Amino acid sequence: MIDVVTIQWGVAIAYIGACLFLILGQRVEQWDKAALLLTGLALLTHFSMIVVRGLDSGQIPIVTRYEDYTVDAFAVVAIYLLAQWRWPQLRRTGILVLPIAALGVVVALNYSRGVFPMGPALRTNWLIIHAQLNSLAIGFAILTAASSFMLRKDSSGIIGRLMSWTFLSWSAMVAAGSYWASIAWGRFWGWDPIECWSLATILAYACVLHLRFNPAWANGYRSIFTGLIPFGLMMFTTYALVFVMRSVHGQYVFQ
Amino acid sequence: MFNVTSSTLKIAWKFIASHTLAVWVLALITLAVLGAGTLPQSTRLSPDEQEGWQTEWETTSYWFDTLGISDIVGSWWFAALCVILIINMTAGTIDAFLRKWAFFKGSQKHSHEAQGSGLPPEGITHFIGGSVTTAESTSRIRGTLGLLGLPLAHLGIALIVLASFWRAETGFNDYFELSVSEVFAGETSKLQRRQPLPSELDTLIQLDRVNIEVAEGDYIGELQGFFSFQHKDGLVEQEMVQSNQPLRLGNYELHTQNKFGHSAVFERILPNGSIRKLYINFTVERSEWGKPWSGQKEQAVRFDNAPLYYYMTQTNSEPPTFNLQVNKGRGVIFDGTLEPGDVADLGAYKLRYQGMVPWLGLNLALVKNVTPIFVGFVMTLLGFLLHLLIPSRRVELIIDDKGWHTRAWVASGDAAFEQKWNTWCRQRGAETA
């Protein structure tokens, strides 16, 4: 029987392979189709892996850092596939997006794959809503960042649209977390470091979205640079903040 | 006298409603919020931590206090930024809505134009809502609901900000630790931030026992507190409180936190013979919960404003021992090992050690005025969703003897329409403008 590590490496290699096909697809279109087919199959395997993990542990697999990275990487690829189906111009962004997802899948393997019981504070549907919106926002954010590097000047509308979806899903994640906090702790907001950085991410995205009304800031290097600021805030808040700052959330996240 | 002309007012309105102002205010609030999340904030520090910060960083903390950086979100300038944001948002939304409305009504210049001979592209006639065969001019606006999206979202944000200020004035939330058999009646000294309760807590809360299970790998399996509550009318109730299941006590709610430990329980016997309980809480690592445990703690214990310094060590020996050294100034006034029932004479009072019991971290919250905030969240998200899912577009089609002529009013960045338009125009080999 093939073990999870082999499957996970297989998924990561498939994403890298699809990325190489997309690079070749710049000259011969057939490679593009092969890339999408391979990505689709890898995503299906990725999804099956998450489902099996959930069935094995008897709980939604978003409790550990291993599970979080795996689910986030899944969201990144799923959103990429859906978005490029809606806007074919985005297909080429897979050259950046797919290796990032592969990296997520491989990094996940560095963390314990043990099954840990969900703490009492996490036994609520709000965890599912909150965490899934977080993964969704990360998926959109990575696609937006990749698009701003790879799309042509005339695709500024698509980048703005993707950024709007990032903003919406991250804001919904914060709103869901706020409601959950009001149930769990009796306060909807506490100006805790994670809460502050999450709000700063929303505000920074709002700022950049408003900035994009000015055509001079909607294209080119200025657009890439300004778009990377909220993206950086989001990545730091999600993956690094609990390691460098004491936060009330630290005792709950990624047991 | 100032001569305020209409052009001055127009310029002022244009500035107040501008995206430029929005960008600057949002950027400044972002920086302020990042500061609030990163720098030491008085609202986040316990009184002891606050004292430590002010002692160790005397000059920095002085300037932080002077400039309002030690409580950024409570500062006047942060409130001012929020007020400017609300004004800008309101003005900007009204301005943008009126301009968009005028745009889609066709009173402003169109964004797309094409013409050709023969039949018009199928997509355009479909958009208009039927076949157009005779000489006529038809126009149709689609997605009017989408126009309401951004105003609704901005209204929601304004509601969140205003309701948050209101809630900050009227709400209450503080952390406290309660040991088994200890009674809490709303004493300010028990609360972490030592703020007085805004209204009386008309219930006595006693922790009867805890059920804390730590699974292998230091994961909390269960964390429950079993309490007795005595109401003002004398009625006693018993309830269990656990995560995500707070207990309502009049206007207040009691919530558990993921914090627990062991508490050394003493009876302080005063010279007049009266007895008061003294609880000193030790934090216990999750891995040590439920096992024979050792710990150390230093704490200044005040009595009549005169602090005595307790140096305590709980030793994991058989039987467990509790070593206590008490200093007054530089002099040691007691140094010995206590077993349950032993008495230490500290001069000002005697201390009878009773043993160790568990303590549980709790939050006491005043639940008031939160509904408008969540209504604001829903309005914001729903509004933005409407804006994203329902693009507003207006297309006009004119057919005459020479052929067809179409114009469209579409917001910039509407990539989906752009695609459609290009397809339509390609279908009939139209000349686009």
Q: Is A115 on the interface with B (CB under 8 A)?
A: no
- Residue B136 clears pLDDT 70, i.e. is over it: no
Token pair listed for A89: 């111009």
Quote the minimal CA–CA distance from A56 to chain B in Å.
18
- Which pTM was predicted? 0.88
Asked if A200's CB is within 8 angstroms of B33's CB, the reply is yes
In this prediction, what percent of chain A has a pLDDT beyond 90?
61
B384 membership: H or E segment, kind and range: helix B371-389
Each residue of A185-211: pLDDT tens digit? 888 898 999 999 999 999 999 999 999
pLDDT of amino acid A113: 80
Which range has the worst mean pLDDT, A56-60, A238-242, B192-196, B216-220?
Answer: B216-220
Each residue of B108-126: pLDDT tens digit? 788 888 888 877 888 888 8
For an interface test with A, give the residue of B289, B377, B379, B417 to mutate (most A CBs within 10 A): B377
Nearest to A168 among B43, B258, B388 (CB): B388
pLDDT of amino acid B292: 81
Quote the minimal CA–CA distance from A22 to chain B in Å.
23
pLDDT of amino acid B391: 87
Q: Indicate the average pLDDT of chain A.
A: 90
pLDDT of amino acid A25: 87
Helix, strand, coil in percent for chain B, rounding step 5: 35, 35, 25
Each residue of B122-134: pLDDT tens digit? 888 888 776 665 5
Quote the minimal CA–CA distance from A26 to chain B in Å.
21
Please give the residue of chain A at the shortest CA–CA distance from B35.
A196
Token pair listed for B249: 């006590």
3-state SS, residue B140: strand
The amino acid that residue B267 corresponds to is E
The burial of A211, by beta-carbon neighbours within 10 Å (0-12 exposed, 13-18 middle, 19 or more buried), is given as: buried
Contacts of A6 (CB under 8 A, 6+ apart): none
In this prediction, what percent of chain A has a pLDDT beyond 70?
98
The amino acid that residue B28 corresponds to is L
Beta strands at B275-283 and B252-269: parallel, antiparallel or unpaired: antiparallel
End-to-end Cα, chain B, rounded Å = 51
Indicate if the alpha-carbon torsion angle B43, B44, B46, B52 is positive or negative.
Answer: negative
Residues of B in contact with A160 (CB under 8 A): 413
How wide is the angle at C-alpha B292 spanned by C-alphas B290 and B296, nearest 5°? 105
Q: How many CB pairs under 8 A join A and B?
A: 149
> Phi/psi at B100 (nearest 5 deg)?
-65, -40
pLDDT of amino acid B131: 61
Nearest to A251 among B217, B258, B364 (CB): B258
Nearest to A157 among B73, B385, B413 (CB): B413
Q: Encode A124-140: b = buried (16+ Cβ within 10 Å), e = exposed.
A: bebbebbbbbbbbbbbb
For an interface test with A, give the residue of B18, B20, B33 to mutate (most A CBs within 10 A): B33
The CA–CA distances, whole Å, from B13 to A213, B91, B92 equal 18, 8, 9
Q: Is B174 on the interface with A (CB under 8 A)?
A: no
The predicted model gives A72-79 an average pLDDT of 97
Q: DSSP code of B305?
A: T
Quote the minimal CA–CA distance from B386 to chain A in Å.
11
Half-sphere CA count of B177, side-chain side, radius 13 A = 19
Using alpha carbons, select from B222, B227, B293, B240 the residue that is nearest to residue B262.
B293
pLDDT of amino acid B4: 66
Query: CA A250, CA A241: separation in Å to the nearest integer?
Result: 9
Q: Is A26 on the interface with B (CB under 8 A)?
A: no
The H helix count followed by the E strand count for chain B is 10, 19
Q: Is B220 on the interface with A (CB under 8 A)?
A: yes
3-state SS, residue B348: coil
Q: Which residue has the tokens 């900035």?
A: A211
- Residue B139 clears pLDDT 80, i.e. is over it: no
Contact between B169 and B368 under an 8 Å Cβ cutoff? The reply is: no
Residues of A in contact with B222 (CB under 8 A): 120
The amino acid that residue B121 corresponds to is P
Using alpha carbons, select from B376, B312, A70, B350 the residue that is nearest to residue A78.
A70
Q: Is A64 on the interface with B (CB under 8 A)?
A: no
Quote the minimal CA–CA distance from A247 to chain B in Å.
10
- Residue B216 clears pLDDT 80, i.e. is over it: no
Look up the ipTM and state it.
0.93
The amino acid that residue A231 corresponds to is F
The predicted model gives B270-274 an average pLDDT of 88
Beta strands at B343-345 and B431-432: parallel, antiparallel or unpaired: unpaired
pLDDT of amino acid B428: 65
**pLDDT band for position B3 (cuts 50, 70, 90):** low
Beta strands at B321-328 and B219-231: parallel, antiparallel or unpaired: unpaired
Each residue of A9-52: pLDDT tens digit? 999 999 999 999 999 988 888 899 999 999 999 999 999 999 99
Contact between B81 and B15 under an 8 Å Cβ cutoff? The reply is: no
**pLDDT band for position B204 (cuts 50, 70, 90):** very high
**pLDDT band for position A252 (cuts 50, 70, 90):** low
Q: Encode B36-63: b = buried (16+ Cβ within 10 Å), e = exposed.
A: bbbebbbebbeeeebeebbeeeeeebee
pLDDT of amino acid A72: 96
pLDDT of amino acid B267: 93
Query: CA B344, CA B176: separation in Å to the nearest integer?
Result: 28
Contact between B415 and B431 under an 8 Å Cβ cutoff? The reply is: no
Q: Encode B226-253: b = buried (16+ Cβ within 10 Å), e = exposed.
A: bbebbeeeeeeeeeebbbbebbebebbb
pLDDT of amino acid A107: 94
The CA–CA distances, whole Å, from A243 to A40, A228, B59 equal 34, 22, 28
- Which residue did the predictor score with more confidence, B212 or B348? B212
Please give the residue of chain A at the shortest CA–CA distance from B384.
A168
Token pair listed for B5: 């002309």
Asked if B374's CB is within 8 angstroms of A192's CB, the reply is no
Indicate if the alpha-carbon torsion angle A93, A96, A100, A106 is positive or negative.
Answer: positive
Contact between B38 and B64 under an 8 Å Cβ cutoff? The reply is: no
Asked if B27's CB is within 8 angstroms of A117's CB, the reply is no
- Residue A157 clears pLDDT 90, i.e. is over it: no
For an interface test with B, give the residue of A191, A234, A254 to mutate (most B CBs within 10 A): A191
Each residue of A106-131: pLDDT tens digit? 999 998 888 777 788 888 899 899 99
- Residue B320 clears pLDDT 80, i.e. is over it: no
Contacts of B431 (CB under 8 A, 6+ apart): B114, B115, B116
Query: CA B222, CA B258: separation in Å to the nearest integer?
Result: 10
Query: CA A232, CA A239: separation in Å to the nearest integer?
Result: 11
Query: CA B259, CA B261: separation in Å to the nearest integer?
Result: 7
Nearest to A186 among B19, B37, B255 (CB): B255
Which range has the worst mean pLDDT, A226-240, B83-97, B159-173?
Answer: B159-173
Nearest to A186 among B215, B363, B385 (CB): B363
**pLDDT band for position B430 (cuts 50, 70, 90):** low
Please give the residue of chain B at the shortest CA–CA distance from A233.
B34
Which range has the worst mean pLDDT, A133-147, B102-116, B189-203?
Answer: B102-116
Each residue of A215-241: pLDDT tens digit? 888 888 888 899 999 999 999 999 999
Q: Is A119 on the interface with B (CB under 8 A)?
A: yes
Query: CA B183, CA B415: separation in Å to the nearest integer?
Result: 64
- Residue A255 clears pLDDT 80, i.e. is over it: no
Contacts of B31 (CB under 8 A, 6+ apart): none
Q: Indicate the average pLDDT of chain B.
A: 87
User: Residue ranges per domain, chain B?
Assistant: 109-143+391-433, 173-366
CA dihedral B369, B370, B374, B377 (to 10 degrees): 80
Residues of A in contact with B171 (CB under 8 A): 187
Contact between A167 and B150 under an 8 Å Cβ cutoff? The reply is: no
In this prediction, what percent of chain B has a pLDDT beyond 70?
95
Query: CA B110, CA B129: separation in Å to the nearest integer?
Result: 20
Asked if B381's CB is within 8 angstroms of A186's CB, the reply is no
3-state SS, residue B246: coil
pLDDT of amino acid B132: 62
Each residue of B376-403: pLDDT tens digit? 999 999 999 999 999 888 888 888 777 8
3-state secondary structure chain A: CCCHHHHHHHHHHHHHHHHHHHHHCCCCHHHHHHHHHHHHHHHHHHHHHHHHHHHHHCCCCCCCHHHHHHHHHHHHHHHHHHHHHHCHHHHHHHHHHHHHHHHHHHHHCCCCCCCCCCCHHHCCHHHHHHHHHHHHHHHHHHHHHHHHHHCCHHHHHHHHHHHHHHHHHHHHHHHHHHHHHHHHCCCCCCCCHHHHHHHHHHHHHHHHHHHCCCHHHHCHHHHHHHHHHHHHHHHHHHHCHHHHCCCHHHHCCCC
Nearest to B243 among A116, A120, A157 (CB): A120
- Give the long-range contacts of residues A148-152, CB within 8 A, separation 24 or more: A148/A223, A148/A224, A148/A227, A148/A228, A149/A96, A149/A224, A150/A92, A150/A93, A150/A95, A150/A96, A151/A89, A151/A90, A151/A92, A151/A93, A152/A89
Nearest to B385 among A168, A179, A183 (CB): A168
Residues of A in contact with B37 (CB under 8 A): 191-197, 200, 245
Residues of A in contact with B259 (CB under 8 A): 251
Q: Which of residues 372 through 411 in chain B touch A, CB cutoff 8 A?
A: 373-374, 377, 380-381, 384-385, 387-388
**pLDDT band for position B2 (cuts 50, 70, 90):** low
Residues of B in contact with A126 (CB under 8 A): 244
